[in-house]
Structure 1
């Protein structure tokens, strides 16, 4: 990926530096998993303001940073908006089926939780 060369450039791990334990850690948090589920469902780049999360703005920033630094998402600036995209191709190349399996399990869990409410 890229190393930061300007204040608006964000560092991302290159594909060969993405570690399974970092990805699993990033996906283990319910808020971060919700972000990833939303991104997968929409299938396009989303601005940070798209997400309506039950945490403060600073905590939201932390969650996006964990996702970016683990290699789960890529963030880039377009004008004044910071856009987020899943690195599905990179994750599938390194850990085939992992993201799809995690997302399917999260969807099944959400359905069970909603059914019990």
Structure 2
């Protein structure tokens, strides 16, 4: 049975928190990886192999607490995905614009 880590409700996602969360190169690269909408393994090999495990954990926490990602726990394994539908409901068109801009860079 899967469990999910705590995340803000859709109405609680704040624009300033989202902007702060995506204003980091490593977190931008995580968003590009998650743009497919699928759950990805949370290990460094699954998202950003170049980052130390604790650094990657910090970035995943920032993204989750800002409301950008959802983290699922299955046994001892963590998986993360982009909360595309929730973000589109809260800030229509914003995520598509961000991902389009990031696709040009990464």
The two structures share one fold, judged by TM-score above 0.5 = yes
1:48 to 35, 42, 47: 42
For 1:80 and 1:109, locate their aligned partners in 2 and report how far apart those are by CA, in whole Å. Answer: 34
TM-score (norm 2): 0.89
1:52 is displaced (CA, Å) by: 2.8
Runs of 4+ in 1 over 3 A off after TM superposition: none
Partner of 2:13: 18
In structure 1, the gaps of 5 or more residues are: 1-7, 111-117
Alignment of 1:36-115 (within 5 A): 36-41=31-36, 43-49=37-43, 50-110=46-106
Q: Over residues 64-93 of structure 1, what are the superposed CA-to-partner deviations in whole Å (9 max), with x where a residue is unaligned?
A: 000000000010101221010111001001
Greater relative contact order (CA < 8 Å, ≥ 6 in sequence): 2
SS of alignment partner, residue 35 of structure 2: helix
Aligned pair count?
A: 102
For 1:72 and 1:9, locate their aligned partners in 2 and report how far apart those are by CA, in whole Å. Answer: 14
Q: Root-mean-square deviation (CA), in Å?
A: 1.4
TM-score (norm 1): 0.81
Structure with larger Rg: 1
Greater helix fraction, Structure 1 or Structure 2? 1
For 1:109 and 1:33, locate their aligned partners in 2 and report how far apart those are by CA, in whole Å. Answer: 10
